[in-house]
Amino acid sequence: MNIAIIGAGNVAWHLTKALYTRHRIVQVFSRSLDNAQALAEAVQCPAATDNIGSIVSDADAYIIMVKDDAIAEVAAQLAHINDSAIWMHTSGSCGCNALSNTATSYGVLYPLQTFSRNATIDTSEIPLFVEANTVDALSRISEIARCISSHIYPADSDTRRQLHIAAVFACNFANGLWRIADDILAQSDLPFSILMPLLKASIAKLDHMRPSEAQTGPAARGDMRIIDSHLSALTGEQHEIYKLLSDSILNHNKQKHE
Amino acid sequence: MNIAIIGAGNVAWHLTKALYTRHRIVQVFSRSLDNAQALAEAVQCPAATDNIGSIVSDADAYIIMVKDDAIAEVAAQLAHINDSAIWMHTSGSCGCNALSNTATSYGVLYPLQTFSRNATIDTSEIPLFVEANTVDALSRISEIARCISSHIYPADSDTRRQLHIAAVFACNFANGLWRIADDILAQSDLPFSILMPLLKASIAKLDHMRPSEAQTGPAARGDMRIIDSHLSALTGEQHEIYKLLSDSILNHNKQKHE
């Protein structure tokens, strides 16, 4: 399959490298010609451009991997340059119909992973969520997805939003708690690294049990003496978060045992 | 050194196995004779007992690894059976002076790790926090600690409480968020495992950057459109936690850029 890549950011970088093992990358577009050329070179692609007007009209697939708020503009500029190809974007928060005026077969290929340019990622482990405007379009997008990973799930826009919310809780908010832990340790001149063995053990447990079973700590034990002692040492936002999250664990355990 | 082990739970199991590579375990006590015998056997120790009155009085060190609320009783029952030995407990939330009526040289050796009986743990990576009633006692406890891990930090009771609070935020509360993410995914019939690659990538970042630098997500970008969209999809406790943790990240970023 001949694939045109629109965008050369972190997502484009990793997915395109996974795709070029099985497909031909015929063009890379980016508003930054340097970025387009760097990615094109990495995947033995002969054509890099920063001119959206010169995007080829004879590719088999077009993958739009630009920032969420640029998708609408890019989609409008590429409207109907190739109606027989399959078109997709890779955004978790943008609807499938963002491409409804661009082509007749379109959809979404959303990778649930965080990408950094320099990190090496085994894309075969990444869960991919696919959606399309027709059954045929879904099958064409899934075929492309299978070159990247075998973990492919159908997901409409509502499901992608639920996924995104779940990821915000699991990763972004967990990181917010790690930042608070770092602040607390800094008061005693201790580095965050002393928590890493504990943190890695906590994550490792999730390979074979659900978070609900893996829960430990004062709230999981219902140890109000320790909870009160900790609350008395905390103020402001830290006190509020400690209280709310302890209550959440206490309530959950109460429901579990009822 | 001849070491007597009081307790045969998960902490005792892992620390004793690490100690016996360099020291002689002369006795294992547990209220459960089966547990005492199993641990004794694992460390080539000839004596297991469930009778606290028969604990040997000629060991060089005594390590009390019983549950927090049993330390006082055990310490009282063993008062002055051996005043020349070094005595210690391994609790993060119990003061050093819990052993002040037991012996003349005493302290704490607190491992910051979660232990499961069946999991294999590389104890050499575990941070150990030590405290003692005299400089000499601290040096004797540190010598024992060095057989377990090279990550040894002095920490008084206040510091251990701060550590414990930091660990509650970083691990117990993070797990509470993972349970909420699991609940949200379950509504779309998706397994928690789809978040694991993202979660592992989030943790891997912390090997080379502080949580404050690693922060990503809608709140880190100040993306109020996404935050409001997510809040409108959440109710009750999940809504409250989403709001409080987003505000925490937004406030932190505001302070950082001021």
> For A38-76, what is each residue's pLDDT tens digit?
999 999 999 999 999 999 999 999 999 999 889 999 999
pLDDT at B100: 96
A189-205 average pLDDT score:
94
Provide the residue count of chain B.
258
| Cβ within 8 Å of residue B84, ≥6 positions away | none
Which run of H or of E encompasses B170? none
Which run of H or of E encompasses A10? helix A10-19
> Any alpha helices (H) in chain B, and if so which ranges?
10-19, 33-42, 71-77, 135-145, 157-167, 174-187, 196-205, 211-214, 218-221, 224-233, 236-257
A24-29 and B128-132 beta bridge pairing:
unpaired
Chain B 70-129, residues with CB within 8 Å of chain A CB atoms? 93, 112-114, 116, 119, 121, 125-127
A244-248 average pLDDT score:
98
In chain A, the N- to C-terminal Cα span, in Å, equals 56
Instruction: Tell me how many degrees the CA angle B231-B237-B242 measures, rounded to the nearest 5.
Output: 40
Tell whether B250 is within 8 A of chain A (Cβ).
Answer: no
The pair of structure tokens assigned to B147 is: 């057989």
pLDDT at A227: 95
Tell whether A24 is within 8 A of chain B (Cβ).
Answer: no
Question: What Å distances lie between residue A256 and A225, A236, B61, B70, B126, CA to CA?
Answer: 22, 30, 43, 28, 32
Q: What is the pLDDT along chain B (258 residues), one digit of tens a residue?
A: 999 999 999 999 999 999 999 999 999 999 999 999 999 999 999 999 999 999 999 999 999 999 988 999 999 999 999 999 999 999 988 889 999 999 999 999 999 988 877 777 888 989 999 999 999 999 999 999 999 999 999 999 889 999 999 999 999 999 999 999 999 999 999 999 999 999 999 999 999 999 999 999 999 989 998 999 999 999 999 999 999 999 999 999 888 777
pLDDT over threshold 80, residue A116: no
pLDDT over threshold 80, residue A118: no
In chain B, the N- to C-terminal Cα span, in Å, equals 56
Provide the residue count of chain A.
258
Instruction: Tell me how many degrees the CA angle B132-B127-B168 measures, rounded to the nearest 5.
Output: 95
pLDDT at A64: 98
pLDDT at A93: 82
Residue from A128, A178, A223, A251 whose CB has the most chain B CBs within 10 Å, to mutate:
A178
Looking at beta carbons, which residues of chain A come within 8 Å of B215? 172, 175-176, 179
Residue from B151, B178, B208 whose CB has the most chain A CBs within 10 Å, to mutate:
B178
Question: What Å distances lie between residue B204 and A98, A201, B76, B214, CA to CA?
Answer: 34, 13, 45, 10
Looking at beta carbons, which residues of chain B come within 8 Å of A169? 177-178, 180-181, 184, 238, 241-242
pLDDT over threshold 80, residue A119: no
Tell whether A171 is within 8 A of chain B (Cβ).
Answer: yes
Chain-centroid distance, C-alpha A97: 20
DSSP assignment letter at A146: T
pLDDT at A256: 78
pLDDT at A115: 81
d(CA B178, CA B172): 10
pLDDT over threshold 80, residue A167: yes
Residue contact A237–B226, C-beta within 8 A:
no
Q: What is the pTM of this model?
A: 0.86
Give the residue carrying structure tokens 């375990």.
B25
d(CA B145, CA B149): 6
d(CA B258, CA B253): 9
Q: Within a 10 A sphere around the Cβ of B233, how many other Cβ atoms? A: 16
Tell whether A250 is within 8 A of chain B (Cβ).
Answer: no
pLDDT at B33: 97
d(CA A59, CA A81): 10
Contact (CB, 8 A) for A194 and B167: no
The pair of structure tokens assigned to B121 is: 């743990």
B106-111 and B86-89 beta bridge pairing:
parallel
pLDDT at B248: 97
B26: phi > 0 → left, psi -120 to 50 → alpha, else beta; which? alpha
Q: Report the complex ipTM.
A: 0.87
Q: Which is it for the CA torsion A161, A164, A168, A169, positive or negative?
A: positive
Contact (CB, 8 A) for B249 and B222: no
d(CA A62, CA A21): 17
pLDDT at B115: 81
DSSP assignment letter at B36: H
